[in-house]
Amino acid sequence: MANLSYTLYRSLWTALDLLFPPLCGGCGKVGSRWCAECQGRVKILNENLCDICGLPLDKAGVCETCRADRPHFRALRAWTVFEDPVQTALHKLKYRRDLSMGEALASQMVTFVRELNWPLDMVIPVPLGKQRLKERGYNQVGMIAKPLAMSLNVEYSSNGLMRSKETRSQVGLTKQERRENVKEAFRAGVEVNGKNILVVDDVSTTGSTLSSSAGALYLSGAKDVYALTVARALPHHGLKHA
């Protein structure tokens, strides 16, 4: 059951919706931040997935990539595929300052995350670099991770991960370039010793950023590190989707 903080948090957004009638983040329809039609178009990723990275497979098991080079996280799962309407909603949150989409998406993901049955002690968003945070003014991942943590009654730490170095945008990079770009890019920003951590990002493609994040948390004593994203860019989408 969600705690009082989450109830109040949702009530705040509901009050704002009454004052300023929202537009659906997926289709732009007036009256709801995430309309019923767009909810129905979401493709939940919950069958025949790689046990480790969550990539859709013909049959359940471990994919060739994870067998050859296992990521640092224990498991990665994405709520849905990186296609419309979720793709549009994430772009509005990330680039158009539509902060309301964070709570709207998080509230839709709660059941999916609970059904994973992961033992979680803390939720941490992947941090932005200093320059990108300065330009944007907020971490869009935190706008999703915070209400998700509150709904799960799990501790939330906005600075649980810190950047050890500035990195290039992952957009347009190859898989190997992505891995090198985020190698040793993170460090733990809070005490994580013995804790089960959920690291959250908006989109996963190769999982390099999440693997590097998990590695940093394990070095600081984390017991287990799980990874979650709103969406997954599948191989046929190409790496350009971030």
Q: Tens digits of per-residue pLDDT, 66-86?
A: 999 999 999 999 999 999 999
Q: Which amino acid is at 147?
A: P
Distance in angstroms (rounded) separating the CA atoms of residues 75 and 77: 7
pLDDT at 46: 87
Distance in angstroms (rounded) separating the CA atoms of residues 188 and 222: 10
Q: Is 152 part of any domain?
A: yes
The list of the chain residues with pLDDT below 70 reads: 1-2, 168-175, 179-181, 236-242
| CATH number of the domain that residue 120 is part of | 3.40.50.2020
Distance in angstroms (rounded) separating the CA atoms of residues 140 and 72: 24
Q: Provide the residue range defining the domain that includes 117.
A: 44-241
Q: Is 1 part of any domain?
A: no
Q: Is 162 part of any domain?
A: yes
Distance in angstroms (rounded) separating the CA atoms of residues 154 and 150: 6
Q: Is 121 part of any domain?
A: yes
Q: Is 23 part of any domain?
A: no
Q: Is 179 part of any domain?
A: yes
pLDDT at 179: 66
pLDDT at 241: 38
Q: Is 12 part of any domain?
A: no
Q: Write out the H or E segment, with its range, that includes residue 186.
A: strand 186-188
**236 DSSP β-pair partners:** none
Q: Which amino acid is at 27?
A: C
Q: Is 28 part of any domain?
A: no
Beta carbons within 8 Å of 45's beta carbon, 6+ residues apart:
54, 56, 77, 78, 79, 80, 81, 232
Split into its structural domains, the chain has a count of: 1
